[in-house]
């Protein structure tokens, strides 16, 4: 069995903050699968690593390092080194980023990377600063400290707001599509297609103020994806969606990822960890 321990410490800034044991183990399982390690062998590695962490009573990053790094070392020890299935050039990078509001710390010293062809999950307790971090990455807010580097066009879907109750969905497509270089006709056609992929007929829909919460969420996702941006920043994108719509969302996200998009998704959903290519956790 391959159990690779590290001889140095990783601070809270490594791989997006201090990961909980469960999140770290889940991330390792995903990284091993991406490197071609068989499911039963990967499960055994995760179990052994968990037992070691319990015995050591130490944080995973201190013992093993970031999940991706640990997975590389384990596959090397197994003699089955394979390049990760996902990830190209870095599209989103944050270094030592902090944000405060009236003296209250929203988050501190955050570091993360998201690469093209990768869909990563942003998790953390309520109040950990996930929505604020996405707003900083989207350029809506300026960080108080640190550096943010986003390369390419951005599609941002906030958890709340961003819609106009008196406008039709098609009018939203035009309003959001024109700054992205889409003509009126192209914006409506692309918005309609995205809505249909989410199981919704946007052309026959009333003004946004009359839409249900789940349908408004679908509209927000479609607006973020208009024009095929290089980076998608999605804040609780399928909150309020039914099971079928959730499945449609992930199928869409995977297709965007496979086309080279870099996506960072904030979500509380338990199934999201299993669907993403990696996890970033914000400590509260």
Say if residues 165 and 171 touch (Cβ distance below 8 Å).
no
Residue whose tokens read 């990967």? 42
Residue 208 lies in a domain: yes
Residue 74 lies in a domain: yes
Q: Are residues 235 and 111 in the same domain?
A: yes
Domain that holds residue 70: 14-78
Paired tokens of 36: 């071609």
- pTM here? 0.72
pLDDT digits (tens, 9 = 90+) for 192-239: 999 999 999 999 999 999 999 999 999 999 999 999 999 999 999 988
Q: Are residues 31 and 171 in the same domain?
A: no
Q: Are residues 34 and 61 in the same domain?
A: yes
Please give the C-alpha separations between residue 61 and each of 18, 29, 274, 278, in angstroms, as whole numbers. 7, 15, 20, 15
279 phi/psi in degrees, rounded to 5: -130, 135
Distance in angstroms between the alpha carbons of the first and the last residue of the chain: 35
Residue 9 lies in a domain: no
Distance between CA atoms of residues 130 and 257, nearest Å: 21
pLDDT digits (tens, 9 = 90+) for 227-260: 999 999 999 998 888 989 999 999 999 999 999 9
Q: Strand pairing partners for 254?
A: none
Which of 217, 208, 214 has its CA nearest to residue 242? 214
Say if residues 123 and 199 touch (Cβ distance below 8 Å).
no
Residue 1 lies in a domain: no
Q: Are residues 150 and 27 in the same domain?
A: no
Distance between CA atoms of residues 234 and 154, nearest Å: 11
Which of 85, 88, 91, 128 has its CA nearest to residue 280? 128
Q: Is 238 exposed, middle or buried (0-12, 13-18, 19+ CB in 10 A)?
A: buried
pLDDT of 19 reads 62
Which of 131, 163, 116, 126 has its CA nearest to residue 234? 131
pLDDT of 9 reads 29
Residue 50 lies in a domain: yes
Q: In three state form, how does the secondary structure of the chain look? A: CCCCCCCCCCCCCHHHCCCCHHHHHHHHHHHHHHCCCCHHHHHHHHHHHHHHHHHHCCCHHHHCCCHHHHHHHHHHHHCCCCCCCCCCCEEEEEEEEEEEECCEEEEEEEEEEEECCEEEEEEECCCCCHHHHHHHHHCCCCCCEEEEEECCCEEEECCCCCCCCCCCHHHHHHHHHHHHCCCHHHHHHHHHHHHHHCCCCCCCCCCHHHCCHHHHHHHHHHHHHCCCCCEEEEECCCCCCCHHHHHHHHHHHHHHHHCCCEEEEECCCCCHHHHCCEEEEECC
Paired tokens of 55: 């015995």
Kindly give the interhelix angle for 39-56 and 67-78, rounded to the nearest 10 degrees.
120
pLDDT of 4 reads 40
Q: Which residues of the chain have pLDDT under 70?
A: 1-19, 80-87, 284
Q: Are residues 68 and 115 in the same domain?
A: no
State the CATH number of the domain containing residue 144. 3.40.50.300
Q: Are residues 18 and 99 in the same domain?
A: no
pLDDT of 145 reads 93
Residue 150 lies in a domain: yes
Q: How many domains does the chain have?
A: 2
Q: Are residues 73 and 90 in the same domain?
A: no
Residue 178 lies in a domain: yes
Q: Are residues 108 and 232 in the same domain?
A: yes
């Amino acid at each position: 069995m391959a159990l690779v321990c590290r001889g140095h410490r990783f601070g809270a800034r490594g791989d997006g903050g201090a990961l909980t044991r469960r999140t770290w183990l889940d991330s390792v399982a995903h990284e091993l699968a991406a490197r071609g390690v068989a499911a039963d062998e990967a499960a055994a590695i995760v179990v052994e690593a968990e037992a070691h962490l319990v015995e050591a009573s130490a944080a995973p990053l201190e013992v093993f390092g970031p999940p991706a790094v640990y997975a590389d070392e384990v596959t090397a020890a197994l003699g089955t080194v394979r390049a990760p299935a996902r990830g190209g050039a870095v599209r989103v990078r944050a270094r030592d980023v902090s944000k405060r509001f009236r003296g209250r710390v929203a988050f501190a010293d955050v570091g993360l990377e998201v690469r093209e062809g990768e869909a990563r999950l942003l998790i953390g307790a309520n109040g950990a600063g996930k929505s604020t971090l996405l707003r900083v990455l989207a350029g809506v807010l300026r960080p108080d400290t640190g550096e943010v580097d986003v390369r390419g066009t951005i599609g941002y879907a906030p958890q709340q707001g961003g819609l106009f109750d008196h406008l039709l969905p098609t009018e939203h497509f035009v309003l959001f599509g024109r700054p992205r270089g889409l003509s009126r006709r192209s914006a409506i056609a692309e918005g309609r297609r995205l809505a249909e992929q989410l199981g919704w007929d946007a052309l026959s829909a009333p003004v946004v103020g009359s839409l249900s919460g789940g349908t408004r969420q679908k509209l927000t996702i479609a607006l973020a994806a208009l024009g095929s941006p290089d980076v998608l920043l999605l804040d609780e994108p399928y909150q309020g969606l039914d099971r079928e719509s959730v499945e449609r969302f992930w199928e869409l996200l995977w297709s965007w990822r496979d086309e080279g998009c870099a996506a960072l998704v904030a979500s509380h959903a338990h199934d999201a960890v299993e669907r993403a290519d990696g996890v970033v956790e914000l400590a509260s």
